[in-house]
Amino acid sequence: MTPDMIITLVILLVAIIFFVTEWLRVDVVALGVVVALMVMNIITVPEGLAGFSSTAVISIGALFIVGGAVFHTGLANVIAAQILRVAGASERRLMLVLMVSVAVLSAFISSTGVVALLLPAMVSLSKRLDLPPSKLLIPVAFSSLLGGTATLIGTPPNVIASEALQTGGYEALGFFSFAPLGLTLIAVGTAFMLFVGTRLLPVRHPAISVQNVETPEQLFKIHNLPDNLFRLKVPPDSSLVGKTIEETHLREEHGLTVVRIIRQPVTNGRGGRQGRSVLQRSADESINHPGPLTEFQADDLLIVQGNGETVSKAATEFGAIFVTSAPVDTGDVITGQTGIAEVILRPRSALLGKTIRGSEFGSRYRVTVLAIKRTGSDDVLPVEDTPLKFGDMLIVEGEWKDIFAMKRKRHDFIVMGEPEAAQMGAFARTTRAPFALMILAGMVVLIASNMLDLATASLLAALAVVLTGCLTMDEAYEAIDWKSLILIAGMLPMSTALESVGLVSVVADGLIDGLGAIGPTAVLAGLFLMGMTFTQVLSNTTTAVLLAPIALLTANEMGVKPEAFILAVAFSTSLAFATPVASPVNTLVMTAGNYKFSDYARAGLPLMFIGMIICVILLPILWGF
């Protein structure tokens, strides 16, 4: 091997280690790859920066914005409600309708968003039908991944595969080029899970009953939040007046968290005050997330979290009034601006092993953790000082915009409850839902009819959702998963480096030497197995970026058409069924279904190999060699 080959291989192996262990964020690793390749003169600066101008990156970024509009306008919620209405009360019909509907939706919008949208209602329905969620949720998660195989925009690897063909001088894939095989996989996968997969899944009810919620009001009651929320009134002579929350040490010394401050209205021009009682203040007179430097004022009404004894002692010490005549209810915590939601910690969250206090959770995310629920445990866990574990559910309170800002921290959290926020009108511009639907449909027509290429059509659609008011420009930026874009932009130069130093040729020659004598179908199977294996530990995007040039060169060296080989990469990376960390949707349903790691492999591995057999047989038939 040449020195350049060795250097490139070392950079790639180090990157893979970081991807698997997630010691560093994936976008940081991807940027490190670009810098390392340029510093070591493996690629030129223009080659290193080419990923950021890639049509795949631009297209995927624009698609994030269009998908954000679908959710933000409440259109996704309307569609989900119709799906659940059609599903009815039959167990088999429920599973069939949900799997097919989720697959269809995932062909056009984010699979993670679709499953997150339907999850609370699915758990509620399963309880109503006395159907263990463990029998329902993995099939729905798998169907969302299969749905992404049906269209060009269904999943990033499809876009990457199309661009790889264009880069190689071939015609780009059409919008429905994936549909014949994708629809076959959806049909077979649905039948398998209905008749076989469900028998392989455990009969296991949720360890935490609080999963069965559909509204923030229900969350409030099911988590017994009224039991640890209290009112304190600050009279003018209280020692709290003029002090900040940090100066009073309420949390450190008294175990109290100030959740909300309902403040007296400003005086009118004659020095008088408005006539409402302090228990009737509106949301616009509240400080919804008091920070350490928030200063108490006379006549403030505090909503604090703690236990009754410590709240009473703190009230006595600071000369505050413990208000017992008006207990805290849902209206004090849940409004159009503020609410509560469930947040699940992901397997490699940076918060694992840390405490809420030690991680400065409140100041970092601008929400208050009201409770911690742990799978398999009914113990009341101390909020401030409990070391966090994978699968822990945090019940958080704060402004809706801050709660859902946590969604962008996909490395750390899965945020539940967007359907509930949409039902309350938080973030939803329902009057703009028809515009979002027309724009999405128009984009599909433009791409499918080849009137515009993917990048142009998706950018046009992204611009349209902003101009029609479906999203503001700031919300459009927030809808983009920047971590995924940086990951793609950073790893594309790695594929360039692998080609330029000859490592792609080495792998392609290895595939041909090892399996070529049997025929191109055997090489296709080897490539498919490679992609299917890598995507269980790496992201499907990373796997596609690394394997696409290998597939293209392998086909060229064998003298066969490359489409089947490139599509093998795209389809293989979507069969991420074997582990809960292979895909965000797998992680999303883990706690709600009370699944173990082995549950995914038990149902997922057979489906993966069935999918592989189908693809290896049909790809040469549909695309030819």
Return the structure tokens found at 203: 């009969």
Q: Please report the pLDDT score of residue 65 as a whole number.
A: 92
The C-alpha R_g of the chain, in whole angstroms, comes to 27
**Alpha helices in 480-596, H assignment, sequence order:** 482-501, 503-515, 520-534, 540-558, 563-572, 584-590
CATH number for the domain running over 338-415: 3.30.70.1450
Q: Please report the pLDDT score of residue 215 as a whole number.
A: 61
Q: Please report the pLDDT score of residue 67 as a whole number.
A: 86
User: How open is the CA angle 264-270-274, to the nearest 5 degrees?
Assistant: 30
Residues with pLDDT less than 50, the chain: 208-214, 267-284, 419-425
Report the alpha-carbon distance of residue 483 to residue 548 in Å, rounded. 21
CA-nearest of 479, 517, 578 to 138 is 578
Q: Please report the pLDDT score of residue 276 as a whole number.
A: 41
CA-nearest of 7, 15, 29 to 411 is 29
Q: Please report the pLDDT score of residue 419 as a whole number.
A: 44
Q: Please report the pLDDT score of residue 76 as a whole number.
A: 77
Q: What are the angstrom distances between the C-alpha of 190 and each of 47, 573, 607?
A: 43, 19, 10
Return the structure tokens found at 161: 């595969």
Bridge partners, residue 295, by sequence: 244
CA-nearest of 599, 568, 565, 594 to 582 is 599
Helix (H, G, I), strand (E, B) or coil at 338: strand
Report the alpha-carbon distance of residue 542 to residue 396 in Å, rounded. 33
- The string of DSSP letters for 300-332 reads -EEEEES-HHHHHHHHHHHT-EEE-SS---HHH
pLDDT digits (tens, 9 = 90+) for 518-575: 989 999 999 999 999 988 878 888 899 999 999 999 999 999 999 999 999 999 999 9
Report the alpha-carbon distance of residue 140 to residue 99 in Å, rounded. 5
Helix (H, G, I), strand (E, B) or coil at 467: helix
Report the alpha-carbon distance of residue 492 to residue 499 in Å, rounded. 11
Q: Please report the pLDDT score of residue 423 as a whole number.
A: 46
Return the structure tokens found at 483: 């971590």
- How many angstroms separate the first and last alpha carbons of the chain? 31
pLDDT digits (tens, 9 = 90+) for 448-470: 998 999 999 999 999 999 999 99
Other CB atoms within 10 A of residue 466 CB:
16
Q: Please report the pLDDT score of residue 468 as a whole number.
A: 95
Supply the DSSP symbol for 457.
H
Q: Please report the pLDDT score of residue 411 as a whole number.
A: 73
pLDDT digits (tens, 9 = 90+) for 314-336: 888 888 887 765 667 676 677 66
Pick the CATH number of 235-319 from 3.30.70.1450, 3.90.470.10, 3.40.50.620, 3.40.1410.10: 3.30.70.1450
> Where in the chain are all domains bearing CATH 3.30.70.1450?
235-319, 338-415
393-399 and 338-345 as β-strands: parallel, antiparallel, unpaired? antiparallel
Residues 6 or more apart whose CB falls under 8 angstroms from that of 405 comprise 365, 366, 478
CA-nearest of 98, 143, 95, 162 to 574 is 143
Question: Using N-to-C axis directions, what is the helix angle for 111-128 and 91-106, rounded to 10°?
Answer: 170
Q: Give the type of residue at 368.
A: T
The residue written with tokens 């959770």 in the block is 361
Q: Please report the pLDDT score of residue 212 as a whole number.
A: 43
Supply the DSSP symbol for 264.
P
